[in-house]
């Protein structure tokens, strides 16, 4: 009888891919985790307990068939493992790199809950798909037959690209419009290369182009092309713009030179990595004392980017403690290894600036009574303010939706009281016939994996809509 290839967690400890030493990785923007070797990937996959109720799968927004492709990897059937992975996830190699697995699949792994250490799901997912690319198993999703209907997608981020892939595979004519000069949205310009190298995104975009998806870049809807014009050119429209309006502080000194927004800073850094000419405007940390304000993953991207740009010091202010940090604990640990100092229970009250910023006025905080959600509220400690010297202050306070009905001249596009587009949670249909919306512009700032899920689901809703007799008759 063949040896049982799974349930090896009782004999084998959890192992993660090797990280490059902090002293080396902090000098460049290459990914910090090395690839699993084939034998290690198989061994780590074999630790899966093959649960009757796989909580890893149910807590994945895409409901990836994780136990199946772990078993296939453990038994060396990698092409089949890739096909199972790709069946539910348009971009598994991207999710394997940037998903917060500690809060999703790995955090809910049964053997993690039993104290044995989770299966390294994300690293195996990355390994499977990188192997698939190396072996030519990843091919453009060209349709079996062409259809005449067309769909316009506004936004070339993960939600828009996932929808484009699904619609093109179904034979529809797909055009993606985006404000930037490269597709990918925040995957391209918001996430640093040490988490997601840009050729990983570029090859997926190239694959979509090979499949027949058309890209109209440097196109700012509402300025370069009207929303009504896009509706007029297509049988259905999908809005997948994301949320790009950055939250600001109402505090003295905001607007001074050297007080910058996180996305502007990260975009400038990524453009330099592409070799683009960048109008610096103070968006380089080299030789500067840097203070980053915020506690999410964007703040972690900023502090780690500043280290790589040669900052003399990097500090992160967060108004709660480490246990209440909204960003990934894995990212916090990586940042600390690279030399970032976290200043917990601290919030900015303003900025001291002459010709440029000279310091951040910091007010010390304590955690008080819980709010309605059970989370302790930060309270100011009076008289404990101090000045943190800074030559560059980066505000990573999150994102809000732009006022699309006004910007695009479509007052009938219904939005919520938060400014996000109001869309049916099942179909993703908006208040406008034939117009759908997905991702952060509906959810608010969220995860890439949710945008992919929304894009795939909305593509099916669009296919159902175009199959209705009334739509056919209207053509």
Residues 332 and 256 in one domain: yes
Residues 362 and 271 in one domain: yes
Residues 157 and 173 in one domain: yes
Q: How confident is the model at residue 7 (pLDDT cuts 50, 70, 90)?
A: low
Tokens at residue 399, please?
């994102």
Q: How confident is the model at residue 473 (pLDDT cuts 50, 70, 90)?
A: very low
* DSSP line for 433-444: TTEEE-THHHHS
Question: Containing domain of residue 329, as a range?
Answer: 249-395
Does a structural domain hold residue 2?
no
Does a structural domain hold residue 370?
yes
CATH code (residue 49): 1.10.1060.10
* pLDDT beyond 90 at 193: yes
The model carries a pTM of 0.93
CA–CA separation, 42 vs 286, rounded Å?
42
Residues 184 and 266 in one domain: no
56-94 residue pLDDT tens: 999 999 999 999 999 999 999 999 999 999 999 999 999
* pLDDT beyond 80 at 9: no
Q: Which of 88, 112, 135 marks a domain boundary?
A: 135
Look at residue 142 and give its three-state secondary structure.
coil
Tokens at residue 239, please?
């809005």
Q: Which of 350, 374, 395 marks a domain boundary?
A: 395
CA–CA separation, 118 vs 8, rounded Å?
12
442: number of Cβ within 10 Å: 28
Residues 430 and 327 in one domain: no
Does a structural domain hold residue 15?
no
Number of folded domains in the chain? Answer: 3
How far is the CA of 80 from the CAs of 68, 84, 118, 462, in angstroms? Answer: 10, 6, 23, 29
Under 8 Å between Cβ of 458 and 430:
no
Under 8 Å between Cβ of 436 and 463:
no
Q: Convert 387-399 to b/e letters by CB count within 10 Å (16 or more is b).
A: ebebbbbbbbbbb
Residues 159 and 107 in one domain: no
Does a structural domain hold residue 16?
no
Give me the chain's average pLDDT, please: 93
Residues comprising the chain, all counted: 475
333-342 residue pLDDT tens: 999 999 999 9
Mean pLDDT of 102-107: 90
CA–CA separation, 247 vs 419, rounded Å?
13
Q: Which of 74, 106, 135 marks a domain boundary?
A: 135
CATH code (residue 343): 3.50.50.60
CB neighbour list of residue 37: distance below 8 Å, 6 or more residues apart: none
Q: How confident is the model at residue 471 (pLDDT cuts 50, 70, 90)?
A: low
Mean pLDDT of 420-427: 97
Does a structural domain hold residue 272?
yes
């Amino acid at each position: 009888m063949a040896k049982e290839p799974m349930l090896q967690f009782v004999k084998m400890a959890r192992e993660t891919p090797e990280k490059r030493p902090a002293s080396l990785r902090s000098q460049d923007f290459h990914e910090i985790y090395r690839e699993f070797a084939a034998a290690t990937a198989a061994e780590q996959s074999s630790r899966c307990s093959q649960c009757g109720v796989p909580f890893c799968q149910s807590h994945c927004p895409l409901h990836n068939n994780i136990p199946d492709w772990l078993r296939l990897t453990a038994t060396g059937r990698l092409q089949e493992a890739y096909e199972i992975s790709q069946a539910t996830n348009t971009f598994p190699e991207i999710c394997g790199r940037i998903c917060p697995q500690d809060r999703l699949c790995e955090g809910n792994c049964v053997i993690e809950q039993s104290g044995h250490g989770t299966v390294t799901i994300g690293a195996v997912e990355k390994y499977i798909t990188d192997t698939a690319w190396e072996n030519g198993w990843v091919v453009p999703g060209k349709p079996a037959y062409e259809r005449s209907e067309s769909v316009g997608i506004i936004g070339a981020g993960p939600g828009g690209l996932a929808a484009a892939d699904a619609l093109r595979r179904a034979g529809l004519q797909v055009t993606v419009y985006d404000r930037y000069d490269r597709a990918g949205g925040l995957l391209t310009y918001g996430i640093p290369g040490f988490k997601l190298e840009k050729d990983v995104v570029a090859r997926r975009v190239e694959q979509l182009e090979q499949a027949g998806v058309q890209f109209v870049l440097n196109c700012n809807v509402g300025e370069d092309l009207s929303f009504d014009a896009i509706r007029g050119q297509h049988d259905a429209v999908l809005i997948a713009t994301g949320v790009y309006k950055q939250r600001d502080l109402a505090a003295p000194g905001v607007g001074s030179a050297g007080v910058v927004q996180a996305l502007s800073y990260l975009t400038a850094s990524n453009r330099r990595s592409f070799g683009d000419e960048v109008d610096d405007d103070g968006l380089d940390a080299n030789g500067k004392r840097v203070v980053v304000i915020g506690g999410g993953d964007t703040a972690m991207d900023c502090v780690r980017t500043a280290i790589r740009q040669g900052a003399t010091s990097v500090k992160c202010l967060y108004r709660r403690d480490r246990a209440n940090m909204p960003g990934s604990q894995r990212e916090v640990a990586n940042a600390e290894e690279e030399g970032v100092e976290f200043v917990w229970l601290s919030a900015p009250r303003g900025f001291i600036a002459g010709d440029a910023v000279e310091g951040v006025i910091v007010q010390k905080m304590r955690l008080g009574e819980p709010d309605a959600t059970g989370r302790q509220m930060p309270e100011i400690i009076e008289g404990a303010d101090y000045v943190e010297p800074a030559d560059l202050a980066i505000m990573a306070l999150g994102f809000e939706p732009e006022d699309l009905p006004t910007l695009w001249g479509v007052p009938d596009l219904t939005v919520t009281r938060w400014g996000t587009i109001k869309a049916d949670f099942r179909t993703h249909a908006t208040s406008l016939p034939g117009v759908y919306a997905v991702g952060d512009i509906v959810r608010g700032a969220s995860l890439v994996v949710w945008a992919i899920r929304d894009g795939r689901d909305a593509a099916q809703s669009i296919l159902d809509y175009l199959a209705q007799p009334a739509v056919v008759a209207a053509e």
